[in-house]
Structure 1
Amino acid sequence: MDWAEATLRAYCCADPAQKCALTLELPQPDCPLDQAVDLPAQPGRPARPQLIHPAKVPRRKLGSEAGRVALVHAVAHIEFNAINLALDAVLRFAGMPLAFYQDWVSVARDEARHHQMLSERLGQMGAAYGDCSAHNGLWEMAEKTAHDALLRMALVPRVLEARGLDVTPGMIARLREVGDTATVQNLEIILAEEVRHVAIGSHWFRHLCAQRGLEADSTFAGLMAQYMPGNKGAAGHFNVAARREAGFSEQELLALGA
């Protein structure tokens, strides 16, 4: 399939700028994937940034230029991983409806634009993607869920990516306080579009639950308890309005403690 071959090229590309360009040029899938693509152990990614344990990633205050560079770099790294995550879903999970592949290609394109925006912002700040260390938590969860589309939809978009909906408004508020309007504009675009991405995850999670005869809310709660015990959300704060828009039910919000 031409679209799957083009998606695999983007997935394997290690250069961030070229990966973004290839992703933005992807053709719209015009037929479902009937067989999973044979994927490499890791998607293409550059030698830098250096990947370290999350606890060792330096934390800096946003009042300094270095702190703001670190923040923009961290989000750029998340968006780079998110490109690979969306492409991985397209290539890994065969037998889904055509709309599944179209949805995740559209998400990959958005994530590529986000990474481009943030890379440009880093350049304006005298830095570049790869200058700071980063962690690999998002991709590690992708590996843990590679065997099951239901797990992937539950635990990547609806947990890890949904945390971005919770924490980004606070980032925006702090950046406004220090007058970094350029970064604020980027994060506002990303926040608005990430709601749709999490909603796509919610839609396909519920689709797979219905297909397997599972009740979605209790299934999600069970997966959270099994895979992420004691780790419900973004430091106890939830963007309830955004999560509702992204497909979280009232029962799920209550279970999360939102």
Structure 2
Amino acid sequence: MTLPVSIDSVGAACAHVLLTPDPLAKLMAARAVARNWRLGRLAHRFDAAMPDRPARPDKPELLPPNQMPKRGRIGSERARIAMLHALAHIEFVAIDLAFDLIGRFGAEFPPEFTGEWMRVGADEAMHFALLDRRLRQLGSFYGALPAHDGLWQAASETAHDALARLAIVPMVLEARALDITPATIVRFRGAGDEMSARMLQRIMTDEIRHVSAGTTWFGHATKRLGVNPAKHYQILVKRHFRGALKPPFNDSARRQAGLTREFYTPLAQ
């Protein structure tokens, strides 16, 4: 996929991704935008407003988190499909989260910030493609089941503040994935689904880098402000995150991503 010739800036390119509803078209747009940035075809200019909400396909039906059907035990194929569908939805929304972060806040950071989050956005598109392909191998597809909109609620809550966005999305939500994915991989292996288990391991390796991108740029911004990173993180999480940080934590993976215990253990419940 190539971008329209009228899209020649980072801001316009990010808005284009967010305003593309079709899943396949969105992942192709994400890849095209990341490629155009890498090839020097996009000016580091932020001349387009990001939408309050991204465009969404007709399916999946979006439900409040407390109305989502139970997935059941992961040993059944039906439950594995439900889990993979939930993960595919997370990655689909993560495409928009990466490009919204760039388009909304990129002007506050050097071009290296844009480059790093372009790579993250391309990763999220690849993850979605892997999960959707696996769903199809199992006789399903993205959109076949309902999904919830909790991830984008976090984006809306932090739309005014780059530091809040970095604290909540990569450093809380994506870090939580580092905590729970190893057990999910074990359950898929226990059910004899080695293909899905290997795919989730690959995705988790990338997610460590994504959390690292969050901690790196959070550190960059807090240094510029002259505030303590861990303490400021705790202030922002208390202010903007609905819920508690619940152990057990994958301290090893979090540490690889630069998210050390001093950040999150004071918030644990």
Question: Cα offset for 1:40?
Answer: 2.3
Native 8 Å contact 2:251 2:260 kept in 1: no
Structure 2 match to 1:28: 37
Deviates more, 1:162-171 or 1:224-233: 224-233
Q: Distance in 1 between matches of 2:214 and 2:193?
A: 31
Per-residue Cα deviation, 1:96-129 (whole angstroms, up to 9, x for no partner): 1001111111100000000000000000011010
Determine the C-alpha separation between the residues in 2 that align with 1:69 and 1:204: 35
Matched to 1:88, the amino acid is D
Are 2:32 and 1:19 equivalent residues in the alignment?
no
Q: Does 1:206 align with 2:219?
A: yes
Cα distance, 1:129–1:33 mapped onto 2, change above 3 Å: same
Count the aligned residue pairs: 256
2:91 corresponding residue in structure 1: 79
Aligned counterpart, 1:58? 69
- The Cα RMSD (Å) is 1.8
Distance 1:208 1:130 in 2: 38
- What is aligned with 1:134? 147
Q: Which residue identity does 1:67 align to in structure 2?
A: A
Q: Which runs of 4+ in 1 moved over 6 A?
A: none
| Alignment-mate amino acid for residue 28 of structure 1 | W
Question: How far apart are 1:163 and its partner, in Å?
Answer: 0.6
Q: Percent identity?
A: 39
Secondary structure, counterpart of 1:38 in structure 2: coil
Separation of aligned partners in 1, 2:67 and 2:32: 36
Letter in 2 for 1:86: A
Please list the CA deviations of residues 108-154 of structure 1 after superposition, one character each: whole Å capped at 9, or x if unmatched: 00000000000000000110101111111111000110111010001
Superposed CA offset, 1:34-93 (max 9, x none): 546212231122111111111221222111111000000000000000000001011111
**Counterpart position of 2:50:** 39
Change (3 A) 1:157 1:37: same
Q: Equivalents in 1 of 2:194, 2:139: separation in Å?
A: 17
Residue pair 2:8, 2:43 contacting (<8 A) in 1 also: no
Q: Does 1:224 find its partner at 2:233?
A: no
Give the distance between the partners of 1:246 and 1:202, measured in 2 at CA.
Answer: 7
Quote how far apart the aligned CAs of 1:230 are: 5.3
Stretches of structure 1 that go unaligned for 5 or more consecutive residues are none
Aligned position for 2:4: none
TM-score where L is the length of structure 1: 0.93
1:247 is displaced (CA, Å) by 1.1
Q: 1:148 to 1:36 in 2, by over 3 A?
A: farther
Q: Is the contact made by 1:142 and 1:156 (CA closer than 8 Å) also made in structure 2?
A: yes
Aligned to 1:166: 179
For normalisation by structure 2, the TM-score amounts to 0.90
Instruction: Give the deviation of 1:182 after TM superposition.
Output: 1.2
